[in-house]
Amino acid sequence: MDEITFAVLGTGGIGRRALEVSQHKDVLTPVAACDRHGTAIDFDGLDVDELLAATEENIDNEVATDGGAKTADGGVKQRGEDRGVVASEQARPSDDPIQDVIDRGDGIDAVLLALPNYEHDFIPRVADRFVEGDYAGVLIDVLKRSRVIDMLDERAGSFEKRRITFVCGAGATPGFLTGAAALAAQSFVEVEAVDIWWGVGLKSGYEDNRGTVREDIAHLPEYDIETARDLSDEEIEAIVDDHGGVIEFEDMEHADDVLLERAGICDAEDVTVGGILDVRNDEKPTTTTVSVTGMTFDGETATNTFRLGDETSMEANVNGPALGYLKAGVRRNRAGEYGVFGPTELMPGF
């Protein structure tokens, strides 16, 4: 496959790991990275080691908004004068980092939107900016929430017009696990149930992944996106403490259901997603498993399963698939297929 240049919007846990994992992929060249403070662009390829090292203590866990206005302060641990990505020698401060990337979009095959989505139309609105900026290429997110897919679908026409291929939900779940479910469904002519159950141990990744923890808390029955967004770091710590560091989730609103229905595999209501998050151990509290139960053409009922080894971290299971689907998206884009794609429609590249 030909060389692929890509940009990462957001340099939190997911953006940083995506840059790191891309170093293992020959075909992928990261050429831009930004957070709300600034932008690093180099079409010869970013120096990922420098960027990650310089920004290691500067991860911005603040709640993101479109215009750059901050709803909370103190999330960025800063080293020296510069905040966030600007601590890297390769980055320049910017008032509108996303626009910097859009303006250089001609040289960028794909853009990974590794941005938090506490305002649940944030990612769709960022996509609008790429449409308005005449970007043609791949946009890819690793979002989990079902409701975002509909918002993206409403934009399918503009994406097609601008030659944008939008790959949605391409992380661990829905991305990786929904892909596995779509494949496992192939034994059956009727799928009765898809059960997605994940385990994440996040002790050493906790600092890097506060955004993810905040988003997960929004799935607890007592919270939603709005109330989770307004929690202070201290309040989040208190919630984690209340649960002894181990939080179990049931019936999560994950886009797995919508994506599997979209692909014609089963009704959204036949899909359940749950899991256990342990922020005080790296060991997974439970084995991540996808179970697909269905009926074969010859009338048997059976369950096919897909299990991830417990030693695979959440970061590995998000970023490998994200980059794999990014490659698959670029291939579709180059073949002239535009619009919105779920992971169930793409086999990720390696």
The site for its own copies (CB under 8 A) is made up of: 17, 20-21, 24-25, 176, 179-180, 182-191, 263-265, 296-298, 300-313, 315-317, 319-321, 324, 332, 335-337, 344-350
- Nearest approach in angstroms of CB 173 to its own copies is 13
- Nearest approach in angstroms of CB 328 to its own copies is 8
- Nearest approach in angstroms of CB 255 to its own copies is 17
Q: Which of 37, 62, 144, 254 is catalytic?
A: 144
Residue of 2, 49, 60, 54 whose CA lies nearest to 207: 60
Residue number, 62 or 315, with CB nearest to its own copies: 315
Separation CA 337–CA 329 (nearest Å) = 9
Separation CA 271–CA 206 (nearest Å) = 29
Q: Which of 89, 154, 161, 219 is catalytic?
A: 219
Q: Which of 215, 254, 261, 284 is catalytic?
A: 215
User: Is 144 part of the annotated catalytic residue set?
Assistant: yes
Residue of 244, 199, 245, 239 whose CA lies nearest to 222: 239
How many CB atoms are closer than 10 A to CB 232? 10
Query: What are the CA-CA distances from residue 161 to residues 40, 157, 300, 337 (Å)?
Result: 29, 6, 45, 11
120 phi-psi bin (left φ>0, alpha ψ -120 to 50, beta other) = alpha
Cβ neighbourhood burial of 77 (10 Å; 0-12, 13-18, 19+)? middle
Query: What are the CA-CA distances from residue 26 to residues 49, 203, 334 (Å)?
Result: 16, 30, 19
How many CB atoms are closer than 10 A to CB 237? 14
- Nearest approach in angstroms of CB 236 to its own copies is 24
Residue number, 74 or 264, with CB nearest to its own copies: 264
At position 81, the amino acid (one-letter code) is: E
- Nearest approach in angstroms of CB 206 to its own copies is 14
Residue with tokens 């170093």: 23
Residue number, 81 or 311, with CB nearest to its own copies: 311
Residue number, 41 or 177, with CB nearest to its own copies: 177
- Nearest approach in angstroms of CB 243 to its own copies is 25
Residue number, 24 or 67, with CB nearest to its own copies: 24
User: Is 70 part of the annotated catalytic residue set?
Assistant: no
**Residue 146, token pair as written in the block:** 């079902």
DSSP annotation of 145: -
* Cβ(294)–Cβ(215) below 8 Å: no
Backbone dihedral angles phi then psi of residue 168, each to the nearest 5 degrees: -110, 145
Residue number, 124 or 179, with CB nearest to its own copies: 179
User: Is 215 part of the annotated catalytic residue set?
Assistant: yes
Active site (catalytic) residues: 144, 215, 219
